[in-house]
Amino acid sequence: MLSISRTNTFKAASAGLRSYSATSALRSGVRVPQLATFKLPEIKNEPTMDYAPGSAEREQLMATLEEMSNKTYDVPLVINGREVRTGDVKEQLNPGKKSHVVCRYENAGPKEVEEAIEGTLAAKSKWESLPLYDRQAIFLRAADLIGQKYRYKLMAASMLGQGKNIWQAEIDAATESADFLRFNVKYSSEIYAQQPPCNAPGVWNRSEYRALEGFVYAVSPFNFTAIGVNLAAAPALMGNTVLWKPSAGAVLSNYIAFDVMREAGVPDGVIQFVPGNAAEMTKQVFDHPEFTSLHFTGSTFVFKNMWKQIAQNLDIYKSYPRIVGETGGKNYHLIHPTANLESAVNNTIRGAFEFQGQKCSACSRLYVPKSLWPQFREKLVAGVESIKQGPVTDPTNFMGPVINQAAFDKITNYIEYARNSSDSEIIAGGKYSDNEGFYIRPTVVATTNPDFKLLKEEIFGPVVTAYVYDDAKLDETIELIGKTTPYGLTGAIFAEDRQAAVDLSARLLHTAGNFYINDKCTGAVVGQQPFGGSRASGTNDKPGSPSLLQRFISPRSIKENMIPISGFTYPSNK
């Protein structure tokens, strides 16, 4: 078993960085004066690489993948900069090869959780007093480290541990992680620049943006390494301290990202890396009076339960907690009779089956007009059946495994339900095996029932259900899309007729927080399409925009009067 402890991997690289003057001042508690108004470097999206056969990036990534696929890593808790071992060791398996243990990691108990909480509170004062530009510098450095020095290691960990192919790892672990860090820096400067537009004679009005009082609890999912990075880093950038509980299905990639942020200069205690039992840790966190915010991505069921727990504890908290969450979706593609057929089919295949449908934005319901269905079905089935699936170590595989046994069992139960229902048929896929890894073939179900179970419930796997509507009943179909599920995350329409696109966009207004016209319902890019939905899909605070950062600050308005008053009465009193 190979340790990737901080002392072995990152100590030398971080030693020089941590000696810089601002961090020294932070440790001493001295407030650093602002001697200039700085201009940020130009913020752009991290360029994506193609990983074409024979390319240098593909060779480097595959070499890293091969090296990491033959190892089992040891991941500790990291609390106040110390590696902590509890003896309660869990395993993260390679979902495509169950015999391969990607890492063994320590699980926190109540003692460690309490220590982590107290550590965040102890680190808070010095961290929030550090000037914004120094906090920004740390996260800009982290973005560069992810985009360069640790790109392939973070991608390989995401591939092996979470079942991503090269492209899915590239647009997640490499580019989106870096994009979140860089664009948050840009947005934080924009927020700080928001100042009162008016001042009365002899008065100077100002606004300050304080960190929240207490600590932030970040709970991240398995499916996006970048989400874990953002859940922890976004509140920290704004001066908060964070207890980060990673998903059991993404411990290795999240730990590497965490240690990259530490190498970039995040001080000890500002972000605590604490895997643990979700229910027990969450209860302990929510029972603490200094809990100030939940930053969550995960299931709707879990998020609702968390909200209820927080509500029950309102009387013990110092402040009303900020609840920020992105949860599930039952996302749709609506095909208009004027759609470009080939584009609509290919976008549906990508939207439904990239990363095995394990995106909260994945297309899982499909509405096709009767006039296009015969051709659409033929092309869709042919495309789906041609999908190559297998281990992530083979770059030619478009799909890999689902994350674990529980997901495998849940998804295959839906497939069997469709197989045994009188009002549905499986027209592509429907096969699966968990002999070596958790592999489920991309599956297309066709139903004649607009209220069919698979059109209503989130599956979170490679299954899309198609309903064929009568061309003359487009209006009824639009209504159906809005009322079939409680979710409102993503949706897409395909129409070449511009007026049709305008009408559909208006009438589907509240069905999706991210709405796409002639494009798949997945693939939001930081700085381009801020992501999130409402209804049962979350609080729609739009990660990848200034809106999210606003949730982790508490503004203070300052009025300074320059002219003493000589009395207390007003002219109207005379």
Q: Which residues are catalytic?
A: 326, 360
Distance from C-alpha of 415 to C-alpha of 405, rounded to nearest angstrom: 15
Give the span between the Cα atoms of 276 and 284, in whole angstroms: 11
**Residue 237 carries which side chain, given as an amino acid letter?**
L
Q: End-to-end alpha-carbon separation of the chain, Å?
A: 86
Which among 37, 241, 32 has a CA at the least distance from the CA of 129? Answer: 32
| Separation between Cα atoms, residue 241 and residue 246, nearest integer Å | 16
Query: In Å, how far are 34, 135, 401 from 193, measured between CA atoms?
Result: 15, 16, 46
User: How far is 291 from 303, CA to CA, in rounded Å?
Assistant: 16
Residues in the chain: 574
Bridge partners of 291, per DSSP, are 215
Q: Which residue shows structure tokens 């027990």?
A: 280
349: number of Cβ within 10 Å: 22
User: What's the CA gap between 211 and 208, in Å, rounded?
Assistant: 10
Alpha-carbon distances of 73 from 70, 437, 556, rounded to whole Å: 10, 20, 46
Which secondary structure element, helix H or strand E, spans residue 89, and what is its range?
A: strand 89-94
Measured CA to CA, the distance from residue 387 to residue 170 in angstroms comes to: 20
Q: Which of 464, 327, 376 is nearest to 455 (CA)?
A: 464
Determine contact, residues 457/347, Cβ cutoff 8 Å: no
Single-letter residue type at 19:
S
CA torsion angle 497 502 506 508 (round to 10): 30
| φ, ψ for residue 325, nearest 5 deg | -150, 140
C-alpha to C-alpha distance for 394 and 386, rounded to whole angstroms: 16
Q: Which of 269, 255, 69 has the alpha carbon at shortest distance from 154?
A: 255
Q: How far does Cα 384 stand from its chain's mean position?
A: 27
Cα separation, 443 vs 463, in Å, equals 5
3-state secondary structure of 195: coil
State the amino acid at position 475 in one-letter form.
Answer: D
Work out the angle between the directed axes of helices 175-192 and 225-237 (0-180°, nearest 10): 20
Q: What gap in Å lies between CA 438 and CA 392, rounded to an integer?
A: 12
Nearest to 92 by CA among 150, 176, 148, 161: 161
